[in-house]
Structure 1
Amino acid sequence: MKWLAVLGMSLCLALINPSYADSDGHRFPMDLDDLGLTQQQLRSIEDAMKEYQQAYRRYHHQSEKTQQDINGLFLAPTFDAESFRAKNMEMERMSIEIRVRLFERLHTILTPEQKRRFIHHMKEWEIE
């Protein structure tokens, strides 16, 4: 779950400082400078990232509560596999939905050529 926070902060840093790279031009993860974003696109992506961060904060808060429920299920005298599975799937679905909304926003912001270049970033954005 901490990876989402790192992902959000890394992207924000990369977007705020487009020259975020080594002196030899090596690109840091989440640096979208190679997409050639316009100022309007940059603002739109920053807005999308703010929404993403707010959603992630809500997700993190909910995940702490759900983790307590999961812990309780594990500590129970009998193991309720179905409830355990359901709680874990709920958290996965929430995480995926947050990511889908972010990518949906990015899809509407980027041009076809930028989308083509962005797919090379997709590996960096994968949920681990």
Structure 2
Amino acid sequence: FGLIYSVDRIPLLNEMEKHFARIDRVQDVLIQVNTANDPAKSGVSVDELPELLEAASKCGHIRVNGFTMMPPLVNEAEENRVHFARTRELMEEMKKKFTCDNIDLHILSMGMSDDFKVAVEEGSTLIRIGTALFGGRH
């Protein structure tokens, strides 16, 4: 895998560490953050994020490259600006707190076909625009 997107809990992180230690490989990952506290979305809560990063800092075969998030479903992309901004702010805060070699927070994956413009305005460095390119799922 080039980049695993969905790390959101310590047990998953620990299993990944064991796996990649067995094959002697360092795996790049993004932490999925549930900034909106949306029960319909996966992701570590804002309150539990430091604990997850602390656990990741002790992993020799996991390298955290940044954060990803899925905002709530809304009618207007602008409604999610607050969640994109909060995720960017969290990444900036965590960059200052975690300065170890395997936590290199430089990727902020936010925004999809319907809201990528707002996400980029709020600092997204990686967008997912499959629907805009290939059409909706059938």
Normalised by the size of structure 2, how large is the TM-score?
0.34
Relative to its length, the structure with more helix (as a share) is: 1
Q: Which structure has the higher relative contact order (CA within 8 Å, separation 6+)?
A: 1
